[in-house]
């Protein structure tokens, strides 16, 4: 092999190594792709499937199924798929982003919503500053004890119970004003 061809083969090898390295490093950044949430992301929760009290939305049917399974089986140390929207009542929501977007809440963004027949308005959104005005407490302070269940309180995940019972939750859901828009 001449010095020249040896030089060429070193370049080719370096190129291949670089391509391999890139192909390994690219998918991890693609997996952390964030989602955009606007008022249009929400809608009448009576249209969404539910497990026990909680309503679910995900654009991808497979991920919707996975989110509902994690919830139904109360699986610990498991993260909900990015893009999952959870609602217990029409005026509050949790939306899952990649962990890095909201590190204090493992990626969850809390929403306080104003719902009317005209649609959804976002009153507040973010992590630890968003509060439930009636309860005078932040969403995150109540949901934090359920960190082992990816901040999902449900029942028996360590959160202080709500002052409303299942019957009242069902009635609040049925009163979702966006229903009349259909």
Q: Which residues bind ligand HEC (CB under 6 A)?
A: 53-54, 86-88, 92-94, 110-112, 130, 132, 135, 137, 139, 142-143, 152-155, 159-162
Q: Could you give the maximum distance between any two Cα atoms of the chain, in Å?
A: 84
Token pair 């949901």 in the structure block, residue: 143
CB of 14 to ligand HEC, least distance (A): 51
The pair of structure tokens assigned to 112 is 């306080």
- For ligand HEC, give the closer residue by CB, 9 or 168: 168
Least Cβ distance, residue 47 to ligand HEC (angstroms): 16
Q: Which is nearer to ligand HEC, 59 or 165 (CB)?
A: 165
CB of 140 vs ligand HEC, minimal distance in Å: 8
Q: How far is the C-alpha of 96 from the C-alpha of 75, rounded, in Å?
A: 17
Element (H, E) at 56: strand 54-57
- Contact in structure between 113 and 95 (CB atoms under 8 Å): no
Of 17 and 131, which has the nearer Cβ to ligand HEC? 131
The minimum distance between CB 182 and ligand HEC, in angstroms, equals: 23
- Of 42 and 110, the one with the shorter C-beta distance to ligand HEC is 110
Closest separation between CB of residue 104 and ligand HEC, Å?
A: 14
d(CA 80, CA 90): 20
Instruction: Name the residue nearer to ligand HEC (CB basis): 15 or 158.
Output: 158
Tell me if 137 sits within 8 A of 131, measured CB to CB: yes
Give the residue with the Cβ less far from ligand HEC, 66 or 92: 92
Q: What share of the chain is helix, strand, coil (3-state, %, to 5)?
A: 40, 20, 40
Smallest distance, ligand HEC to C-beta of residue 98, A: 18
Are the C-beta atoms of 32 and 97 separated by less than 8 Å?
Answer: no
Distance of alpha carbon 103 from alpha carbon 91, whole angstroms: 24
């Amino acid at each position: 092999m001449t010095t020249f061809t040896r030089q060429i083969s070193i370049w080719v090898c370096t190129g291949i190594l670089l391509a391999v390295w890139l192909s390994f490093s690219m998918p991890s950044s693609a997996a952390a792709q964030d989602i955009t949430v606007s008022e249009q992301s929400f809608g009448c929760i009576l249209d969404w499937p539910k497990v026990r009290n909680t309503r679910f939305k995900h654009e991808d049917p497979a991920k919707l199924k996975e989110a509902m399974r994690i919830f139904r089986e109360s699986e610990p140390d498991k993260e909900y798929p990015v893009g999952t929207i959870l609602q217990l009542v029409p005026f509050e929501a949790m939306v899952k982003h990649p962990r890095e977007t909201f590190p204090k809440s493992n990626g969850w963004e809390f929403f306080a919503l104003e719902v009317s027949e005209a649609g959804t308005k976002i009153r507040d959104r973010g992590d630890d500053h968003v509060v439930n005005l009636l309860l005078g407490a932040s969403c995150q302070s109540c949901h934090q004890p359920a960190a082992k269940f990816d901040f999902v309180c449900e029942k028996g995940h360590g959160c202080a119970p709500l002052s409303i019972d299942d019957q009242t939750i069902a009635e609040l859901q049925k009163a979702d004003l966006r229903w009349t828009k259909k």
